[in-house]
Chain A
């Protein structure tokens, strides 16, 4: 048997997944508590021991890993106009699996420099100006960045006319500086893949070391990517398929965690009818957003804030007072597992509310405008109403008895007609929690990864 081990170093858990290549099947999964502060190797050893208790001893031919340990890949980005180059660099970073902790637009100040120094990002992405466009802003910001006395690498991906000069300014301070093609070479045209490749290369080269994971590097064939990037890869594979196998088609996926809710869409999102005027930046076909204020534990307060106590009470069936008290408790006890009916009800309400809000923020919107020439529709972002598949993952939801009901909150809602979410979709649940592992496996064996996903990701009926 040729067995491959896939490891996900998380911030609180190390998850391992064993795969039998020839049999195209899962050998098993296991997880163990870890902290980067102590030793990630210990968590890995424990998780492996648990796994092999189920499966018996296994010799691994390859070991691959992804990581979101120690806060994940933390990035700060900058651009010129908030809705244009600043948004393009934010989208590029999110798509590469980064956690974007701050976005700057226009000219940065000395105070901003101090803030960046305090934030200590893993990578800074500097952009601004289309090719041949504004030069002053990015040059100014390069000088400000050069004054920051923290040695994070900088990717320069702005106006090509001055990219070289920016690179010189930054490299003169001894900082690793990489020049990339512009994230927005022409107005409203995105070119984010080269930057994403560079982010990943830097992640492999530098970030792994900085996060104390390099000792593990000897044990495994490689830490390939940040965890969200692996999940995104799995979703693309599931949607698009490979040369040999068809995928399931356009999809939306939600990863509901304790601290964040990630939403992925692999769909073109073009307008569904001819009388629609498109506004804003065209979005990538494979798009990721992350809501840092929405989650089941650390960020449960954010869900309460986004929905209000009354709506959350309505979703959970508890009184607003119970909801508020419960959320406060969860925020302070992130490892809490509900034991009674009230606890389960609150978890359901939080999950439904987080999924609803996160997918609404991810999906595009449509607005009816009455003009002197009659009614016109204006669309911003992606129209996902025609997407027929919805994938749900995340520990809090895959073990929930009411997962299908939670999923239905990601769908179109008559009460919020402006939000272009899927109208009706087949719901798939990542029961064995293998999406990140399959994204890793897909690097070398995409067909095997797709076959396993099609076996393991369970269809849960259709939601409307």
Chain B
């Protein structure tokens, strides 16, 4: 079967590169075709990359606490660009301070994200979510 295609990157003005590399290796080892955009990625860059590669999922990471601002309007832009229905995941330390995760999850889901992962999530959790959402056996 053709490999499922992921777009990976750290959004906004965030330059945390280490977690990004770990995720890249973890997803690649798990059998996905990963296009890694690195750090300081704008919404437009994720979308352009997803268009050229015909990606199945966009994975947004953020560590510096400003992810909520950076992610606003992302789903709308995807729709506008013709990526209707593309899976959107977000994870990391995505809000300012310590907040109730259920509340954070709800806010990001309202913004159109399909999956929301809190701080300290292991790559395996995201990989099993990907397998489930993309209907991959095993």
Contacts and interface: CB of A to CB of B under 8 A. Distances in A.
Contact of A376 (B2, B13, B51, B65): B13
A83 interface: yes
Interface in A209-226: none
Contacts of B14: 371, 373
Nearest to B82: A106
A84 interface: yes
Interface in A330-369: 369
Given A132-B33, A187-B35, A277-B39, A372 B51 contact: no
Contacts of B74: none
Interface in B26-47: 33, 35, 38-40, 45
B15 A80 contact: no
A85 interface: yes
Interface residues of A, number: 24
A84 B52 contact: yes
A130 B66 CA distance: 32
Given A277-B40, A378-B40, A81 B48 contact: yes
A134 B64 contact: no
Nearest to A275: B15
B129 interface: no
A279 B40 contact: yes
A128 B54 CA distance: 11
Contact of B13 (A85, A128, A371): A371
Contact of A130 (B2, B13, B38, B53): B53
A129 B40 contact: no
A372 B14 CA distance: 8
Contacts of B5: 132-133
Interface string A71-109: 000000000110111000000000000000000000000
A84 B53 CA distance: 11
Contacts of A129: 52-54
A388 interface: no
A184 interface: yes
Interface string A49-86: 00000000000000000000000000000001101110
A133 B64 contact: no
A184 B52 contact: yes
B65 A372 contact: yes
A376 B40 CA distance: 10
A371 B64 contact: yes
A135 interface: yes
Contacts of B51: 80-81, 134
Contacts of B65: 372
A83 B35 CA distance: 16
**Interface residue SS majority, chain B:** loop
A133 B52 contact: yes
Given A132-B33, A371-B64, A187 B52 contact: yes
A361 to B, nearest CB: 21
B49 A187 contact: yes
Contacts of B38: 277
Contacts of B64: 371-373
Contacts of A132: 2, 5, 33, 53-54
Interface residues on B, range: 20 to 34
Contact of A83 (B40, B48, B54, B66): B48
Given A132-B33, A378-B40, A372 B13 contact: yes
Contacts of B33: 132
A331 B126 CA distance: 63
B67 to A, nearest CB: 11
B13 A134 contact: no
A245 B134 CA distance: 58
A375 to B, nearest CB: 11
Contacts of B39: 277
A373 B52 contact: no
B53 A372 contact: no
Among A128, A129, A133, A373: residue with most chain B CB under 10 A: A133
Interface in A14-58: none
Nearest to A374: B15
**Which of A80, A81, A85, A370 has the most chain B CB atoms closer than 10 A to its own CB?**
A81
B24 to A, nearest CB: 13
B84 to A, nearest CB: 13
Contact of A133 (B15, B45, B53): B53
A372 B64 CA distance: 7
Contacts of B52: 80-81, 84-85, 128-130, 133-134, 184, 187
A129 B35 CA distance: 13
A103 to B, nearest CB: 15
Nearest to A279: B40
Max chain B CB contacts within 10 Å: which of A186, A372, A378?
Answer: A372
A134 B15 contact: no
Interface of A: 80-81, 83-85, 128-130, 132-135, 184, 186-187, 277, 279, 369-373, 376, 378
In order of increasing CB-CB distance, the 3 nearest A-B pairs are: A371-B13, A133-B53, A81-B48
